[in-house]
Amino acid sequence: MPKAFVSTDRIRSLFTEAMSQMYRAEVPQYGTLIELVADVNAGCLENDPELRERLARAGELERIDVERHGAIRLGTAEELFTIRRLFAVMGMQAVGYYDLSVAGVPVHSTSFRPVDEAALNVNPFRVFTSLLRLELIEDEGLRGEAAAILAARRIYTPRAIALIERHERDGGLSEEEATEFVAEALETFRWHGEATVSAETYKRLHDAHRLIADVVSFKGPHINHLTPRTLDIDAVQARMPERGITPKAVIEGPPRRHCDILLRQTSFKALEETIAFAGDADAIQGTHTARFGEIEQRGVALTAKGRALYDRLLASVRGEVQVGAGGAKAGAYDQELAERFKALPDSWDELRRQDLAFFRYCATPAGIAAAVNGTLPKDPEALIAKGYLAFSPIVYEDFLPVSAAGIFQSNLGTDQQQNYATHSNRDAFEAALGGTVQDELALYAERQAASLDAAMEALGLAALQLKTVA
């Protein structure tokens, strides 16, 4: 008899935990950040029983401490193809396409994440995964050299590949295999202080773009940050210096609001680390700056209409105030952001009525009781007004390209702004991936519609539809 398979959710949780342990050991400042975040989160829950209640209702209370993401940068199409298969073992699929070249970063990216609501509730861990666009290196000689260096490396262990194949062939892994798989997968993301290139090659790659040096010069795609979730990002940002951590100048994303939307994130500046170059002379030393820590605070997912408004407001702020390399004008930026975002309603009900955000509907006990008595109003808005139908925000599980570019840039040195005269190349990305990336908006819309169907079914009103969801 075959041994029972463990769930992909379980493997993802084992992996998340293992990554967290490894990164805390590699980057002690990340451990300090985690402690600060835990303090601030505990304080928030204590001071805000309503928040505590809302999180409990949404099944999120238990996941606060595990909610986090990480990021890696890959060098070749083959590496991306295999990472898709590796993440599939943990129930993570490619969602969203992000073109960062427009912001002067020579990569395009996706997020590997769980998709089902149940899986998200167990552990939403996601990995922002970038693929280097070598074609954006202008110097043909250097481009060829970088391609050859990347072609020669093997970032996956043979045993990891064997276990991926076993999962694909048989549909799962046993507990023992899962444990082994996580240990093997971890090897891909480990930091290596020894570069695979000489100091001279490193310098040429670095001069082309710091990110190119980071991707090409090492044995593998080291995890470059992990991100715990915070309930009060402003408090953590303000208190980082207390613990000897230097935050980036501004929080990316929307301003602080009563009703959180999308994603707010900030990071501490990447650390300068000693590395050894390959070469004839005995161990030439240098430094490399790539690894940092980040925090995130997520809010409701916006519809296409809400997102268009968000993008327009953000662009208008960024057109008005440009934050300088050393953080000049950060205060003015925050003020302008808060001011302009007043145009986006700050109540759950308005966000819902105006079809700006996605919500999860459910029939309330009062509604079910009224259905039994046959006293339900027929108008869906009236159902909500009477408390027969409740709604709660669907959390945004994805990333924001402008914010991601800000995180990249703050960790690459703001002097590195370059504009690539290019267009996004989603087709090439999907060809490399060996599959399509899913549309995040469609996923949220499906979840909203399914929750509404179930709620209406529970009220015996299956035929009715809310007009905003039509």
Using CB under 6 A as the binding rule, whether residue 110 contacts ligand OOG is answered as no
Number of residues that bind ligand OOG (CB under 6 A): 13
Q: Which one among 294, 334, 398, 440 touches Ni ion, defined by CB under 5 A?
A: 294
Applying CB under 6 A, which of residues 8, 224, 230, 409 lies at the interface with ligand OOG? 224
Q: Decide which of ligand OOG, Ni ion, none touches 224; Cβ closer than 5 to 8 Å per partner kind.
A: ligand OOG
Q: Cα-flanking dihedrals φ and ψ of residue 181, to 5°?
A: -60, -45
Where does this chain touch Ni ion (CB under 5 A) — which range of 65-73, 372-380, 417-425, 433-441? 65-73
CB of 47 to ligand OOG, least distance (A): 27
**Binding residue for ligand OOG (CB under 6 A) from 181, 399, 420, 444?**
399
How far apart (Å, rounded) are the C-alpha atoms in residues 380 and 383? 5
| Beta-bridge partner residues of 285 | 276
Which C-beta is closer to ligand OOG: that of 90 or that of 223?
223
| Residue 145 CB-density burial (10 A; 0-12 exposed, 13-18 middle, 19+ buried) | middle
Measure the CA–CA gap between 240 and 248, rounded to whole angstroms. Answer: 10
Q: Counting contacts by CB under 6 A, is residue 136 touching ligand OOG?
A: no
Residue 265 CB, nearest distance to ligand OOG (Å)? 5
- Dihedral angle, C-alpha 158, 163, 169, 173, nearest 10 °: 180
Amino acid at 207: D
Question: Judging by beta carbons within 10 Å of its beta carbon (0-12, 13-18, 19+), is residue 1 exposed, middle or buried?
Answer: exposed
Q: Does 420 bind ligand OOG (CB under 6 A)?
A: no
Binding mask 276-295 for ligand OOG (x = CB under 6 A): ------------------x-
Determine contact, residues 184/157, Cβ cutoff 8 Å: yes
Q: Which of residues 226-265 bind ligand OOG (CB under 6 A)?
A: 265
- Measured from the CB of residue 107, what is the shortest distance to ligand OOG in angstroms? 8
Distances, alpha carbon 185 to alpha carbons 76, 110, 158, in Å: 18, 19, 10
Three-class secondary structure of residue 154 per DSSP: coil
Give the angle 376-382-388 at the CA atoms, nearest 5°.
55
Closest CA to 271 of 259, 289, 258, 246: 289
Using the rule CB under 6 A, which residue among 136, 275, 295, 404 binds ligand OOG? 404
Q: Write down the least CB distance from residue 71 to Ni ion, Å.
A: 5
Binding mask 58-77 for ligand OOG (x = CB under 6 A): -------------x-x----
Decide if residue 407 touches ligand OOG (CB under 6 A): yes
Question: Could you tell me the smallest distance in angstroms from the CB atom of residue 455 to ligand OOG?
Answer: 33
Question: Between 184 and 294, whose beta carbon lies closer to Ni ion?
Answer: 294
In the DSSP assignment, the letter for residue 355 is T
Tokens read off for 362: 């459910």
Q: At what angle do helices 426-433 and 77-88 cross, to 10 degrees?
A: 60
**Chosen from ligand OOG, Ni ion, none, partner binding at 314 (C-beta under 5 to 8 Å by type):** none
CB closer to ligand OOG out of 376 and 412: 412
How far is C-alpha 466 from the chain's CA centre?
A: 31
Which 3-state string (H, E, C) describes 378-417? CCHHHHHHCCCEEEEECECCCCCHHHHHHHHHHHHCHHHC
Q: Are strands 68-74 and 225-228 parallel, antiparallel or unpaired?
A: antiparallel
Region of 136-144, 151-159, 403-411, 451-459 interacting with ligand OOG (CB under 6 A):
403-411
303's contact among ligand OOG, Ni ion, none, with CB below 5 to 8 A by partner kind, is: none
- Shortest distance, position 69 Cβ to ligand OOG, whole Å: 6
* CA gyration radius, the chain: 23
CB of 130 to Ni ion, least distance (A): 11
Is 67 among the residues that bind Ni ion (CB under 5 A)? no
Q: Which helix (H) or strand (E) holds 276?
A: strand 272-276
Binding segment for Ni ion (CB under 5 A), chosen from 161-169, 206-214, 280-288, 294-302, is 294-302
β-strand pairing of 107-113 with 126-132: antiparallel
Residue 429 touches which of ligand OOG, Ni ion, none (Cβ within 5-8 Å per kind)? none
Binding site for ligand OOG (CB under 6 A): 71, 73, 128, 130, 224, 265, 294, 399, 403-404, 407-408, 411
Binding site for Ni ion (CB under 5 A): 71, 294
